[in-house]
Amino acid sequence: MTAAAGIDAVADEVLGEIRARGRYRRMRMLEGTQGPRMDVDGRAVLLFAGSNYLDLANHPEVVAAAQRAARDVGCAAGGSRLINGNTSLHESLEEALATFLGTEAALVFASGYMANVGVIPALVGKEDVLVSDALSHASIVDGGRLSKARVAVFAHGDAGDLERVLARERGRARRLLVVCDGVYSMDGDLAPLPDFAAAARRYDALLLLDDAHGFGALGPRGRGTAEHFGLELRQHVDIYLGTLGKTLGSFGAFVACSALARDLLINTARSFIFSCALAPPQVAAAEAALRIVEREPERRQRLAARAARLRDGLAAHGIDTHPSETHIVPVRLGDNATAMAVCGALLEQGFFAQGIRYPSVPEGTARLRLTPMASHTEAEIDALVETLAKTLASVRE
């Protein structure tokens, strides 16, 4: 047997099991600039399946910044930040992020996933306890595994259960680290951050807030979930994690923290130390987008209005989007086959809303995950509502 035949046999066996469970995935082909209207698998559609929430990925200023950086610095950093990949562009972006969020410092990572799998093991180890929400993102779960810390899970969004877990674990570990998302990426609900932060302080625990979907989109100034709740980041959150690839329309991630914590991560976060630095065009694009977020609050306001219109419109048809209260709007359909059938039917009618299945969501909670953008029109939101209502009615007959 050749090496290729051996791996193909393994692939065929595993993929057969995945297909049998209704979890087989494939990548669709998207063409055109990232925005509310694109071509998906050769069909012109309205896009309700992305995270380019403020429609900045193709903003002229963002594109121009990337072009200048590519021309002046090149298309790659050429190495890790600790060897030859640290440029003035990286330092400038980090200073801008720290200033924007009101923290002492910030540090850029290659992605949100790599930030969590680097930061968590840098903060806790086998003598410690990671206290995590039951619906924490996969990158948090994997960061906990890599850290070798004992993991204690509390009921999703339940501050009382968090307090119970903290009371049980205090004194049994060297260090406690509470980790939560700000906006939960599959349900669109918010963590009760004031209660979580208060509990962490009462039990001398560190708090890491993964605000991938809140940064830039929530709060009067776009500072995310903490600002949405009226909390000062420096007073209530020890490590703040945000992404550059969602509201900022670029790529990568960052943490905002104290200057000393930044120094710790530079020296101990393996996913930072052993990764190539972000490409200069992406770094410059992110800083340009951050300036737009600061000066154009109307983009956040439109995003919130479009999401509210979508939820209200679906509710008028008896379609439940609970527990969403943000720009992520789930429509739970239960089984995998129904979710993907509705996804396919919508695509044929000119709407791309991705079906989400296990392991991205718990078993039996397959859904459509609808994500409007600030640049969708009210008429486009209404068209999605009417088409989805009719499609669901036909599927359920």
Q: pLDDT by residue (tens digit) across 270-317?
A: 999 999 999 999 999 999 999 999 999 999 999 999 999 999 999 999
pLDDT, position 315: 98
Q: Which amino acid is at 9?
A: A
Q: In this structure, are 140 and 282 located in the same domain?
A: yes
SS (H, E, C) 30-61: EECCCCCEEEECCEEEEECECCCCCCCCCCHH
What pLDDT is recorded for position 1?
A: 54
Q: Are residues 227 and 319 in the same domain?
A: no
In a domain, 1, yes or no: no
**pLDDT over threshold 80, residue 153:** yes
The predicted structure's pLDDT at residue 25:
87
Is residue 80's pLDDT more than 60?
yes
Mean pLDDT for the chain overall: 96
Exactly one of 111, 136, 139, 185 is catalytic; which is it? Answer: 185
DSSP for residue 241? E
Query: Peptide bond preceding 359: is omega within 30 degrees of 0, i.e. cis?
Result: yes
For the beta sheet containing 150-154, the strands, ordered from the edge strand earlier in sequence to the opposite edge, are: 105-109, 253-257, 239-243, 206-210, 176-181, 129-133, 150-154
CATH number at residue 176: 3.40.640.10
State the pLDDT at residue 396. 72
Residues 239 and 316 both lie in one domain = no
Same domain, 230 and 325: no
Query: Which of 260, 295, 330 marks a domain boundary?
Result: 295
| 194 pLDDT more than 60 | yes
Residue indicated by tokens 């306890």: 129
pLDDT band for position 2 (50/70/90)?
Answer: low
Q: Quick one: residue 363, left, alpha or beta (phi over 0 = left, psi -120 to 50 = alpha)?
A: beta
Q: Which residues contact 364 (CB under 8 A, 6 or more apart)?
A: 334, 335
Q: Which of 228, 236, 246, 327 is catalytic?
A: 246
Helix axes 159-169, 193-202, angle to 10 degrees: 20
CATH code of the domain containing 361: 3.90.1150.10
Instruction: Tell me whether residue 15 is in a domain.
Output: no
Lowest mean pLDDT among 18-27, 68-77, 253-262: 18-27
Q: Does the active-site annotation cover 126? A: no
Q: Both tokens of residue 49?
A: 């399946």
Bridge partners for 209 per DSSP: 180, 240
pLDDT digits (tens, 9 = 90+) for 83-139: 999 999 999 999 999 999 999 999 999 999 999 999 999 999 999 999 999 999 999
Q: Are residues 262 and 152 in the same domain?
A: yes
- Kindly state whether residues 320 and 214 are assigned to the same domain: no
Considering 295, 318, 345, which residue would you say is the last residue of a domain? 295
| Whole-number Å distance between alpha carbons of 130 and 141 | 10
Which structural domain, as residue segments, surrounds residue 33? Answer: 24-53+297-396
| Range with the poorest average pLDDT among 100-109, 315-324, 354-363, 381-390 | 354-363
* Predicted local confidence at residue 215, as pLDDT: 98
Kind of pairing between the strands at 37-40 and 30-31: antiparallel
Residue 186: DSSP 8-state: T
Report pLDDT for 81: 97
Q: What is the pLDDT of residue 23?
A: 86
Cβ distance 152 to 131 under 8 Å? yes
Share of the chain above pLDDT 70, in %: 99
**Are 367 and 290 part of one and the same domain?**
no
Question: What integer is the mean pLDDT of 349-371?
Answer: 93
CB burial of 57-70 (b: ≥16 within 10 Å; e: otherwise) equals bebeebbebbeebb
- Residues 17 and 83: their CA atoms lie apart, in Å, by 44
Q: Which pair of structure tokens corresponds to residue 96?
A: 């801008």
C-beta of residue 69 within 8 angstroms of C-beta of residue 281: yes
How confident is the model at residue 394, as a pLDDT? Answer: 86
* C-alpha span between 167 and 199 (Å, rounded): 10
Residue range 218-246: mean pLDDT, rounded: 97
* 185 among known catalytic residues: yes
Q: Are 321 and 331 contacting, i.e. CB atoms less than 8 angstroms apart?
A: yes
The one catalytic residue among 137, 213, 228, 236: 213
Average pLDDT over residues 70-74: 97
> What pLDDT is recorded for position 148?
97
State the average pLDDT over residues 38-58. Answer: 96
Same domain, 105 and 31: no
Look at residue 6 and tell me whether its pLDDT is greater than 90: no
Q: What does the pLDDT read at residue 209?
A: 98
pLDDT of 46 reads: 97
**Mean pLDDT (whole number) for 340-366:** 92
